[in-house]
Chains A and B, each alone.
Chain A
């Protein structure tokens, strides 16, 4: 056995392995780089429909109102993961002209016996309308704290940009209130009564 080729092959192996490990580290980094890249993509395109779309009042007042078009805005409210809040829009839907400033309210009440801080996350369907849906005032701009039993009406003031493409005649605005204390989530679904291996008896009328 010749020592020399063995030696060079060892060096060659080390070189290849180094390259491979660089790819591995690079791809691990790529996974994490996806986080800001995805955020950037979403904020540019409105892809996940959750940009807040906040603008200043002055900007909203300067926009031209297009009286020839009517856009229906529907309102929707959801609680995330059994948040014990009563949460609903006070009006189901409203017709607006693009460029017209409109104010609506949502009602919220804390039914729990302790104070809860929650954050409302917006979602717009179809998502293509996201970047044309601007708000000057929204309860989603900051976290909301409710004392036990406290209820209130929260304002939402919005204006639809006249640049909204013509094919979108109905926009659904959906809010989900999420408890900011996420530590309780893992216990929420804990249902001990289900933790039996075998279900002993099958009700015969379950079909």
Chain B
């Protein structure tokens, strides 16, 4: 942090010791903590996935008992969504948004500190919900899957209570982070940074934040009702007392479907920076892209029941949800075309972030195609709760969300650390992780279409080949992340000095102001609003 030189005197460098992190109100430090937290959770959630894949290598029960398997499955989803993707995206928002729009820090730095420090607490609760089953007398492990459907979730043991509190904390944390980010974007832009000049990542986070503010409280309400049903004798979801378990499904998916866009949009934002940079061309159709994201935001809020076609809705309702869901493919498809047209006749180079960018366009389009298949009611009744769905949402979320974050990590690592990562290792990581990802999840389309149900510890012998390919791919996919970790640690520790603008094309189109700062940026940046030409 030697770059803090010609700043005002009262702006000191970071405080020493643990206070720097525990009491931090600095958006860069909090961003770093978010990213480290996400990385830790990636390995915990990934470890669970490895156990799941090891168990599924053979039919029969080899490694874990069915209850523990179900609990691992549930926690794998929750950790990856709430512990990994969302904090990683929030970490990037913390790091980049103030620097992109020329703000000195986030709008509410103290709340920023609290939003982060709720996360470790929530993670401890979440992990204890998994571990509490080993204490006798705590009841059945959580065996519901991440959707927590009653009546099963009302009947499970103490782990569910810990999980509900964990979801509360995670919800509060992400609501506060979203309010902070939205307020920063709305009010803290430097003069000369109107909405229509904001980098796409900032736009993406504006919509993400608003989505979270709207849907998170509904999930919090739903799980609160679950808690009441469990302990206070209410019957929100208990048919014996006049409730209806299907109501929970509506509440859950009212949150759960927009949540998909919460995970996806930040990565689309990263893509909107990476593709122009390495194509050396301004983003094709910046304004329409912003409009499509807005359209996605609005449409995403009103199509939730396509997750529930099998509950028995009226023909009118299913038709509405089917058409609404298919409509979503229009803005998403147009977004992908925008990125393809940005590359068209650009002078492309294929650094690691760009490789991820292109891979996302290809593989996310694949998830879009299976998504349209699943949106069609008669087809979905066949695919429902099969491995086809598992393949679909892993294709949507790993390229759509996780690879977007990897692209962001490689794109901004030089800015964050001041060091270039090793390009060769980055490329090895890209090919390793992309190929093994496809090896893992592509066969699951086939086992799903052949009728293998999801969330199951044991399976019929006819699915053995697909599952073994999947498991081998899964182990390779898991292993590739050790290289990822190695690259990150090595880049943080040292390496070739990165320029202030490490990417030649980074200033093209609607760039952020982060490239006008040195690499790494000073502890306090833009204490006076920058002048924008």
Residues 420-434 (chain B) with a chain A CB within 8 angstroms: none
Q: Are B63 and A198 in contact (CB under 8 A)?
A: yes
Min CB–CB distance A90 → chain B (angstroms)? 24
For B241, the chain A residues whose CB sits under 8 A away are 182
- A8-B211 Cα distance, complex, nearest whole Å: 27
Given contacts A12-B187, A21-B179, A24-B217, whether A49 and B312 have CB atoms under 8 Å apart is: yes
Closest Cβ of chain B to A131, distance in Å, is 12
- Within 8 Å CB of A67, what residues of B? none
Q: Report B305-323 residues with CB < 8 Å from chain A CB.
A: 312-314
Q: Which residues of chain A from 181 to 207 have any CB-CB distance to chain B below 8 Å in the complex?
A: 182, 185-192, 194-199, 202, 206-207
Judge whether A197 and B314 touch: CB under 8 Å: no
B327 within 8 A of A: no
Contact of A194 among B67, B187, B214 (CB under 8 A): B67
Q: How many residues of B contact A (CB 8 A)?
A: 59
Q: What CA separation (Å) do A80 and B247 show in the bound complex? A: 19
Distance, CA A180 to CA B134, complexed state (A): 30
Q: Are A24 and B175 in contact (CB under 8 A)?
A: yes
Question: When A42-B244, A178-B240, A190-B139 are in contact, do A197 and B64 touch as well, CB less than 8 Å?
Answer: yes
Given A12-B187, A31-B218, A198-B64; A182-B139 close (CB under 8 Å)? no
Asked if B48 is at the interface (CB within 8 A of a chain A CB), the reply is no
Contact A197 B68 (CB under 8 A): yes
* A20 adjacent to B59 (CB under 8 Å): no
B residues 155-205 with Cβ under 8 Å of A? 155-157, 175, 178-179, 182-183, 186-188
Query: CB-CB < 8 A to A125: which residues of B?
Result: 312
Q: Which residues of the other chain, A, contact B62 by a CB distance below 8 angstroms?
A: 199, 202
Residues of A within 8 A of B67 (CB): 191, 194-195
Residue from the list B61, B186, B213, B313 in contact with A23, Cβ < 8 A = B213
Question: A156-191, CB under 8 A of B: which get 1 and which 0?
Answer: 000000000000000000001011101001111111
Given A12-B187, A197-B134, A207-B60, A48-B244 contact (CB < 8 Å): yes
Q: Which of B186, B216, B244 is the one whose CB lies under 8 Å from A38?
A: B244
Q: B58-75 vs A: 1/0 string, CB under 8 Å? A: 011111111110000000
B314 & A16 in contact (Cβ 8 Å cutoff): no
Contact mask for chain A residues 1-30; partner B; CB cutoff 8 A; 1 contact, 0 none: 100000001001100110011011111111
Give the contacting residue for A50; candidates B178, B183, B239; CB below 8 A. B239
Q: Which of B182, B250, B312 contacts A34 (CB 8 A)?
A: B250
Report the nearest B residue to A127, measured CB to CB. B312
Closest Cβ of chain B to A86, distance in Å, is: 19
Task: Please name the residue on chain A nearest to B245 by beta carbon.
Answer: A48
For window 380-404 of B, CB contacts with A under 8 Å fall at: none
- Chain A residue nearest to B230 (CB atoms) is A186
Nearest-Cβ distance from residue A147 to partner chain B, whole angstroms: 20
B120 at the binding interface (Cβ < 8 Å): no
Q: How far is the CA of A190 from the CA of B159 in the complex (A)?
A: 13
Q: A27-B215, A206-B60 are in contact. Are A13 and B233 (CB under 8 A)?
A: no
Q: Which residues of B contact A199 (CB under 8 A)?
A: 61-65
* Bound-state Cα–Cα, A1 to B10, Å: 13
Distance in angstroms between the alpha carbons of A38 and B236 in the assembled complex:
11
Instruction: Give which listed residue, B156, B222, B233, B527, contacts A31 with CB less than 8 A.
Output: B222
Say how far B345's CB is from chain A's closest CB, in angstroms: 42
Inside 8 A of B154's CB, which chain A residues have their CB? 182, 185-186
Interface status of B358 (Cβ within 8 A of chain A): no
Inter-chain contact total with CB atoms closer than 8 Å = 148
B133 within 8 Å of A (CB atoms):
yes
| Contact across chains for A20 and B182 when beta carbons are under 8 A apart | yes
0 or 1 for each of B207-231: is its CB under 8 Å from A? (1 = yes): 0000001111111111001000010
Asked if B108 CB lies within 8 Å of chain A CBs, one says yes
Q: With A31-B251, A198-B64 given, is the CB distance from A47 to B314 under 8 Å? A: yes
Q: Is B183 in contact with A180, judged by CB distance below 8 angstroms? A: no
Shortest beta-carbon distance from B231 to chain A in Å: 10
A39 to B314, CA, bound (A): 16
| Measured CA separation A9–B191 after assembly (Å) | 12
CA distance A31 to B136 in the complex (A): 35
| Residue numbers in A under 8 Å from B247 (CB-CB) | 34-35, 38
For A128, what are the chain B residues with a Cβ–Cβ distance below 8 Å?
314
Within the assembled complex, what's the spacing in Å between the Cα atoms of A190 and B137? 8
Is B349 part of the contact surface with A, judged by Cβ < 8 Å?
no
B61 contact set on A, CB distance < 8 A: 199, 202, 206
User: Is B107 in the interface zone, CB < 8 Å from A?
Assistant: yes
Contacts of A178 in B (CB 8 A): 238-240
Point out which of B220, B244, B528 has the most chain A C-beta atoms below 10 A from its C-beta: B244
In the assembled complex, B492 has its CB within 8 A of some CB on chain A:
no
Task: State how many angstroms separate the Cβ of B129 from the closest Cβ of chain A.
Answer: 15
**For the complex, what is the distance from the CA of A45 to the CA of B59, rounded to whole Å?**
45
Residues in A with CB closer than 8 Å to B134 are 195, 197
Compute how far the CA of A34 lies from the CA of B181 in the bound complex, rounded to whole angstroms: 29
CB closest chain-A residue, reference B312: A127
When chains A and B are docked, how far (Å) is the Cα of A126 from the Cα of B314? 10
B251 to chain A, nearest CB (A): 6
A199 to B222, CA, bound (A): 35
B64 touches A17 (CB 8 A): no
User: From A123, which residue of chain B is reached at the shortest CB distance?
Assistant: B239
> Do B217 and A20 have beta carbons less than 8 Å apart?
no
**Residue A91 CB within 8 A of the other chain:** no
User: CB distance A27 to B246 under 8 Å?
Assistant: no
Q: How far is the CA of A3 from the CA of B235 in the complex (A)?
A: 55
Asked whether, in the complex, the Cβ of B240 is within 8 Å of the Cβ of A119, the reply is: yes
Does A81 make an interface contact (CB < 8 A)?
A: yes
Q: Assuming A31-B222, A206-B60, A206-B61, is B66 touching A20 (CB within 8 A)?
A: no
Q: How far is the CA of A200 from the CA of B212 in the complex (A)?
A: 45
B217 with A38: CB separation less than 8 A = no
A positions within 8 Å CB-CB of B: 1, 9, 12-13, 16-17, 20-21, 23-32, 34-35, 38-39, 42, 45, 47-50, 80-81, 119, 121, 125-128, 176, 178-180, 182, 185-192, 194-199, 202, 206-207
Q: Chain B interface (Cβ within 8 Å of chain A)?
A: 59-68, 107-108, 133-134, 136, 139-140, 151, 154-157, 175, 178-179, 182-183, 186-188, 213-222, 225, 230, 233, 236, 238-241, 244, 246-247, 250-251, 312-314, 461, 527-528
Query: Can you show 29 pairs from A to B with CB atoms below 8 A apart?
Result: A1-B527, A16-B186, A17-B183, A20-B183, A24-B179, A24-B217, A28-B218, A30-B218, A31-B219, A31-B221, A32-B225, A35-B236, A35-B247, A47-B313, A48-B244, A80-B240, A119-B240, A126-B312, A189-B139, A189-B156, A190-B139, A192-B136, A195-B136, A197-B65, A197-B68, A199-B63, A199-B64, A202-B61, A207-B59
